[in-house]
Each structure stands twice: as structure tokens, then as C-alpha cells.
Amino acid sequence: MDRLLVKNIAIRIIYLVLFLVLSNYIYSNWFFEKDIQEYSPVINRVRSVPNDADIIYIGESSNTTFRDNDIDKRPISAMIADFFPKLNVYGITKEASHSGIYKILLSKIPKENTLKTLVVTLNLRSFNAQWIYSDLETPLQKSMVLLKPYPPLYNRFMLSFKAYDIKTNREREAQFKKQWVKAELVFPYKFPYKNVKEWDGGVYHSNILDSEGKKDYAKTELSCHFIKAYGFQIDTLTNPRIKDFNDIVELAKKRNWNLVFNLMAENTEKAEKLLGKDIIYLMKSNRELLKKYYTNKGVLVVDNLTLVKDEDYIDQDWTTEHYAERGRHIIAANVSKAISVFYKKYYKQIDYKSTYKTYFFNNCENSAIWNQSQTISSDFAYSGNKSSKIGKQDYYSITLEYPINAIPDSLKNEIIVNLMYKADNVNKDLKLVFEFHKKGANSITKYYDIEYKNNNWTKFSAICTITDDIKSYDLLKVYVLNKGSVITYIDDFEIVIN
């Protein structure tokens, strides 16, 4: 190569470097946030966590899913807060996610956050081939590209050039089917099937009969599904989830967090009924492996595997970790008891059957506990930085939902509400609402007009008497309703039952 060529190439390389630096600056400042909101909005779930956290609970849909007739519909993370009333407990939920997603989200928790204890959902089923090669993986991986710890322009380049795991549904299916054949199942006793495919085929062609002696197709299908969901043995060297959880361990060490892996409950009762001891052997041996593996790495592993009864699983014809109220209570209690080792002074024993609360306060800084948290806005605040913004399309303010039947009748005579509000303009549509619900009975609703004052923060107070006919009701809901078009902000929402 002659000198001129070398000079030409050198000039171009220098230009390229300058160009990339400038482009990164332009992209970071003018385009990155818009892309984040379009392609990786999941980050908002991390951003919405206040920086004064003591405990963060991260999980998938198992955290938030409830049964329609649950009285206490709160997520597990909010229930854990009951056990540590003086600590700030927040939840991050990303449906259908797994350790590979958690590790990226967790790396985005700001360094200023005071977080001390991190509880990570350890979902046994997420280690199976069908989940690892799930068709949800492509969009999940895509949503993570912009969040990786590299310069924004580089991340956008990787997103533009599809540098993430893209596979068609057909390709994913081929992957997990291959794994069902490849991964041999090893039992300490003689087992007639070599792998999941053989086991699945064997059970499918066996005679599982219903009460009338006919082949029970629904039960057969469910049995096969349990085989595919739990018929695996974790190989710590090759299972991608292990690597991701290991990365979380490293991150926790680096950030000096107490790390807790919350091994979720699985429907072992139904599994045993359908498939006997073989499936239970696999589930339990995987549990032991995970417990041992991560305990050796200094992680506190909470074992919930067999704690929830079949009747407390919401999905009865599928394998999920979706628990009804009692299931979520049990898990919250078990996790809280385990992590109390870090917070002996703050831990309060709770028995969900007899314990009740009579004082509630929400200053909108913690979006995890009350419903309608999507109304929380940073536009104005009476205290802190946020308030609940209602009007136009968001009719309902942050809403307290509480199983009022937990409170003895003699202790519930009235509900006193104090709140601060601020409207943009005259608002004649503002109402404080009390709803009382009971299974098998019509709900009772009481409205209190909130008088318009001025454009400043104004205090509103009301007292709702709990008459005898209401005392037997199960659930209380309290919120501010604004069906008008004038935007109104609600803050420092205080509710006392006495």
C-alpha cells in the first residue's frame, strides 16, 4: 500500500470516529428516549420505583395475577410490605419474563437507589425447554436491546441490524422439540421412558379414563402438559437461565444487595395426582439442585415449591404460577419470614386470617400498593413529587381496595377521609366514592361531592358511616371520581376506619 492510500484510510478512520461520537451525542439527546418509549417501555416499570427502596421484589405475572373473586387482589410484593410496615417495599413486574430479562432490568436500578434487599422470582418452569425456546422470546429480546449497558447509538445500531435472538415460531418449536428428545431423563429407579418425547407419547396413548370409563382427553392433555412443563433436569453448565441468575448474583454482589431467590410454588398436588411420583421426583430434584447451587453462592433461597394447594391455583387446566389470594398470602408470608433475617427489628408477624389494618395513607410516591397507579403523575404534588391525575379519560384516582371483613364489626363504625386536591379550573364533577362489595349481594356505593375551591391545593374531608347492613360486606373501595374534563390532582389520601 502506498502512503497516499494509508493517508486516505487514516483520514477516513478519524472522520468515522468523530462522526460516531457526534452521532451518539445527537441520538442520545434527541432520539433515544423516544425509541425507549417505543421499543423498550418496560424500563418505565423500573423508573417508577422510588429511590428510597429497602426491598424490591421482581417477578413475572405470578406477582400480580389474582382470581376474580379474591377479596385481597394485591400483588405478592404489596403483601410483603404488610410484614415490614416501616420499610419501603416496591415491586417490578414484567409478564412472561425470566432471569435474562430481570438481569437487564435490575442493572437499570439507579446507583442512588437505597435498595438493600432484592427478591427475585425463581420460576422452576422457566428452566424448561418450551419456555427457553418460547415464541415470546423474540419480542422480549428485542425489547431489551436498547437497555443494554452500551452507548445508545451502539444499542440502536444493534436494534436496527437485528442483533438479538430472532427466530420464527416454527424454528422455536423445532428447538424445544429437539431438546425433548436430546435431554435424557435420569431416575434413581427404572423408568420406562428415555426422554420427554417418549414419556409424552406414552402417556398420550395410555388409557386415562373419566368417571364413565371413557378416555379422558382433557386429563390426558393436561398430564402431557405437565410432562412438558416439568419433565427436565437442570444442567447448570448448559441451561441459559443458570447463567442469567449467576449474572444477577454478580450484580447483587457488585451493588451490595442482599439477594433472595424466591422459588415459586408449583402445583405439585395436581402433578402427583396426574403423573405420580415420577414428575414429583424431577420437580423436587431440580429444587434441591437450585437451592444447593445458589445457597453455595451466598443467595438466600426461599422454597415455596409445595406450599400452595391445588385449589389455590387460578389456572386449573394449565401449568402456571398464578395463585389465588390465599396462595399469594402464603408466599408473601414465607418470603417475609425468610428475609426477616435482614430486618429483625422491622418484621411484624401477620396472620392474614386475623390481622387487619385501619389506617391507610398514600402520598402517591409509592405506586405499588393502591390500584389505579397509572394515574400517578409528576405534574404537581402536595407532598413529595407526585400526585394522582384524573379527568378526561382517567376517571378514577388511586384506589384503596381493602377486605373490610377482616376488621371486627365493633371496630368499624365510620370511615374518615382526608385528602388534598387541586383542579385546573372549576370542576363540578368531582366526587369521593365509597364502594362496598359482598359476594352474592348488590354492591353499595356512596358519593360525596367535593366542593370546588380554587387553583391551590385544598383539603377535603368526609366521614362515611358504616351502618349495620354494610358491616357484613367483604370489600371496601375508596377513590375520587372525576368524569368531567377538568384535570384534577389528588394527593396525601388518608383513610381511617374506626
Report the interface residues with other proteins, using CB under 8 A: 5, 8, 15, 19, 23, 26-27, 31, 39, 138, 142, 153, 156-163, 166, 170
Minimal distance, residue 190 CB to other proteins, in Å: 36
Of 276, 106, 285, 120, the residue nearest 206 (C-alpha) = 276
CB of 165 to other proteins, least distance (A): 11
Contacts 24+ apart (CB under 8 A), 40-47: 40/143, 40/144, 40/145, 40/146, 40/147, 41/143, 42/94, 42/101, 42/105, 42/143, 42/147, 43/105, 43/108, 43/147, 45/92, 45/93, 45/94, 45/105, 46/92, 46/105, 46/106, 46/108, 46/109, 47/108
Give me the least distance between CB of 147 and other proteins, in Å please.
14
Shortest Cβ distance from residue 2 to other proteins (Å)? 10
Q: Which is nearer to other proteins, 18 or 426 (CB)?
A: 18
Read off φ and ψ for residue 246, nearest 5 degrees: -60, -40
Nearer to other proteins, 31 or 191 (CB): 31
Closest by Cα among 109, 127, 142 to 176: 127
CB 177 → other proteins: shortest distance, Å?
A: 14
Amino acid, single-letter form, for residue 256: N
Question: Cβ of residue 134: shortest distance to other proteins, in angstroms?
Answer: 16
Beta bridge partners of 438: 441
User: Between 15 and 191, whose beta carbon lies closer to other proteins?
Assistant: 15
Which triple of cell numbers denotes residue 479?
377513590
Q: How far is the CB of 22 from other proteins (least distance, A)?
A: 9
At 326, list the grid cell.
390465599
CB of 129 to other proteins, least distance (A): 20
Residue 193's φ and ψ, nearest 5 degrees, are -115, 145
Judge whether 284 and 305 are in contact, CB under 8 Å. Answer: yes
Q: Which is nearer to other proteins, 86 or 162 (CB)?
A: 162
Closer of 101 and 480 to other proteins (Cβ): 101
The secondary structure element, H or E, covering residue 289 is helix 277-295
Q: How far is the CB of 109 from other proteins (least distance, A)?
A: 26
Report d(CA 81, CA 368) in Å as an integer: 10
Which cell numbers in the block locate residue 243?
447463567
Sheet holding 475-482, edge to edge: 400-402, 475-482, 430-438, 441-449
Closest CA to 232 of 285, 272, 190: 285
Between residues 12 and 47, which has the closer beta carbon with respect to other proteins? 12
- Nearer of residues 31 and 150 to other proteins, judged by Cβ: 31
Which three cell numbers mark 487?
384535570
**Residue placing its CB nearer to other proteins in the complex, 84 or 133:** 133
Residue 16 has which C-alpha cell? 468515522
Distance of closest approach, residue 334 Cβ to other proteins, in angstroms: 41
Edge-to-edge order in the sheet of strand 300-303: 89-93, 55-59, 117-122, 258-263, 300-303
Of the pair 159, 260, the CB lying nearest other proteins is at: 159
Rounded CA separation 358/403 (Å): 11
Q: Percentage helix, strand, coil, to 5, in the chain?
A: 40, 20, 40
The residue (of 2 and 212) whose beta carbon lies closer to other proteins is 2
Count of other CB atoms within 10 angstroms of residue 474? 17
156 versus 386: smaller Cβ distance to other proteins: 156
Would you state the cell numbers that stand for residue 312, as one nine-digit string? Answer: 389455590
> What is the smallest separation between the CB atom of 159 and other proteins, expressed in angstroms?
5
The smaller minimum CB distance to other proteins, of residues 14 and 218, is found at 14
CB of 37 to other proteins, least distance (A): 13
**40 neighbors 143 (Cβ within 8 angstroms):** yes
